[in-house]
Amino acid sequence: MKLSQMTYAVSSCLLFLSGLSSAVFAENCMQLMEKQDFKNAEEICSQSCDDGDGDGDGYSCYALGKILAEFGETSQDYQEAATYLTKACKLNSADGCSELGSFYVDGLGVQQDEQQAKTLFDKACELSSADGCHKLGNVYLIVLQNFDKAKSLYEKACSLKYGESCSNLGYMYFNGFGIEKNISRANELYQKACDLNSSRGCYNLGFSYYYEEPRNFEQAKINFEKACTADNADGCLNLGYIYINGHGVAQNYEQARNYITKACELNSGKACADLGSIYSESVGVKQDLQQAINYYQKGCELDSSDGCMYTAVLYLQGQGVKQDYNQAKKFFEKSCDLKNGLSCSNLGFLYFEGLGVEQDHKFANELFLKACNLNSGDGCSNLGNSFLNGSGVKQDYTQAGFYYDKACSLDYGQACGSLGYMYWKGLGTQRDLSKAKINYEKSCDTLNNGFGCYLLGGFYLMQTDNSASATAFAKIYFEKACKLGHQEGCEELEKINSAK
């Protein structure tokens, strides 16, 4: 054999051994990742990600990026992770493309770019990544609201046994997003998702059984339990509701509290806020306002608008904490920013009354309007009061009536009474005693509002026939107003009783 031939043979042998070595490293990388031995995986995967020739194994590069993203603590770690994921995607790693797309969604190690994320999810999906198809489906459903495209992507991912996509597809059928609403089909998909270990699928199936007619509390409980066992906070929270309400089980406040506590520990802001209410309102426990505010504040930190609002209320009233209008304002502001209409109205009340802030009726009305637009009856009613009295706005009875009418349609009892009064007096509208009475009755009889009962009592008392039956009805409604805490109702009741 000539020297040149020998050199060629040796080179070929080394090349073969090198390729074999890279393949072994890549296989070992995958095995270590499956075992979650990330420390050793990082060392092995790095050797198969870069084979020295500028190529490498796509999965190994993805694994390195994933490890850095999972355990990284600095922006530099995420940047390095993004570099590995970029290489993985170029090497046609479907998982690498999908994970890199998520980096672009969240701006981790790269500049946030939703279009680039979409492109990467698309490539991942083309490479048969169920995760990529699912994430692309989310883009079409949530961002682009292209329901047909979202549906087809979820169908593909679901067929690839991706439980979350089966669940999302079920959600589309459940709500009729771009397709005809079909609860039966939704439940089939939720069941498939649950069988594929999607805790969201189990929760959604439980939700359907719990809230949709015919309600099946037993099946709801079974599926909420599956979801909760898999650490799905919503599953735990709703399991707590089942025990609080005694739906299909014996009412058990302690068991309910345990499940809701677990949901709170799983960072459900709503669950933490609900726990605050359990301690505030003594639901199966001794009232503990300190515990209540602790849970309300945790809920607020987790962006529960109710958690923020109830924290503010306790500071406003000085319950469990020292009264502090500034703290009340801070928490009402956050709750209002989270689109809690009642908190916007309460914040407006602080400015209207000048509590902890400089009095400003104009700004208060802006907040009342924001609250009203968020369908807060309290906000609409307060804005109606401002137009009625000319507070911070030009007096306008028509506008007052408009906002009282909206508040009443939102079942805000005080506003129904006020609207009835507008009809009684003919303020901003033609006088109509029939409409006045209808609104008084809704306020009092339907919504149990003391002000409405007081006005209804006055309506009967002022009848021209002054009959005994009219006086008897007046007494009934003044008595109800009094029991509901309306002082003027108590005074009118005393007058009737004294006249006997």
Write the pLDDT tens digit of every residue in 280-330. Answer: 999 999 999 999 999 999 999 999 999 999 999 999 999 999 999 999 999
- Cβ atoms within 10 A of the Cβ of 178, count? 16
CA dist., res. 349 & res. 378, Å (int):
10
* Mean pLDDT on 35-57: 78
* Mean pLDDT on 21-35: 78
* CA 29 and chain centroid, separation: 40
pLDDT band at 17 (very low <50, low <70, confident <90, very high): very low
pLDDT of residue 53: 57
Cα distances from 384 to residues 34, 121, 280, 421, 431, in angstroms, run 64, 50, 32, 12, 18
pLDDT of residue 4: 46
* Mean pLDDT on 159-175: 97
* Mean pLDDT on 349-359: 97
- The mean of the pLDDT values for the chain is 91
pLDDT of residue 33: 83
pLDDT band at 158 (very low <50, low <70, confident <90, very high): very high
pLDDT of residue 7: 40
Write the pLDDT tens digit of every residue in 83-92. Answer: 999 999 999 9
Does residue 102 have a pLDDT over 60?
yes
pLDDT of residue 45: 86
pLDDT of residue 75: 61
pLDDT of residue 499: 77
Report the share of the chain in percent with pLDDT over 90.
Answer: 81
CA dist., res. 465 & res. 94, Å (int):
85
Between 21 and 425, the more confident residue is 425
Does residue 20 have a pLDDT over 80?
no
Any long-range contacts for 255-260 (C-beta under 8 Å, 24+ apart)?
Answer: 256/284, 257/284, 257/285, 259/228, 260/236
Q: Do residues 184 and 167 lie in contact, with contact meaning Cβ atoms separated by under 8 Å?
A: no
Lowest mean pLDDT: which of 3-7, 83-87, 216-220, 254-258? 3-7
pLDDT band at 207 (very low <50, low <70, confident <90, very high): very high
Does residue 193 have a pLDDT over 60?
yes
Q: Do residues 274 and 255 lie in contact, with contact meaning Cβ atoms separated by under 8 Å?
A: no
Does residue 58 have a pLDDT over 70?
yes
pLDDT of residue 6: 40
Lowest mean pLDDT: which of 5-19, 396-410, 450-464, 467-481? 5-19
Regarding pTM above 0.75, the answer is yes
The one-letter code for the residue type at 112 is Q
Instruction: Please state the three-class secondary structure of the chain as a single string.
Output: CCHHHHHHHHHHHHHHHHHHHHHHHHHHHHHHHHCCCHHHHHHHHHHHHCCCCCCCCHHHHHHHHHHHHHHCCCHHHHHHHHHHHHHHHHCCCHHHHHHHHHHHHHCCCCCCCHHHHHHHHHHHHHCCCHHHHHHHHHHHHHHCCCHHHHHHHHHHHHHCCCHHHHHHHHHHHHHCCCCCCCHHHHHHHHHHHHHCCCHHHHHHHHHHHHHCCCCCHHHHHHHHHHHHHCCCHHHHHHHHHHHHHCCCCCCCHHHHHHHHHHHHHCCCHHHHHHHHHHHHCCCCCCCCHHHHHHHHHHHHHCCCHHHHHHHHHHHHHCCCCCCCHHHHHHHHHHHHHCCCHHHHHHHHHHHHHCCCCCCCHHHHHHHHHHHHHCCCHHHHHHHHHHHHHCCCCCCCHHHHHHHHHHHHHCCCHHHHHHHHHHHHHCCCCCCCHHHHHHHHHHHHHHCCCHHHHHHHHHHHHCCCCCCHHHHHHHHHHHHHHHHCCCHHHHHHHHHHHHCC
pLDDT band at 428 (very low <50, low <70, confident <90, very high): very high
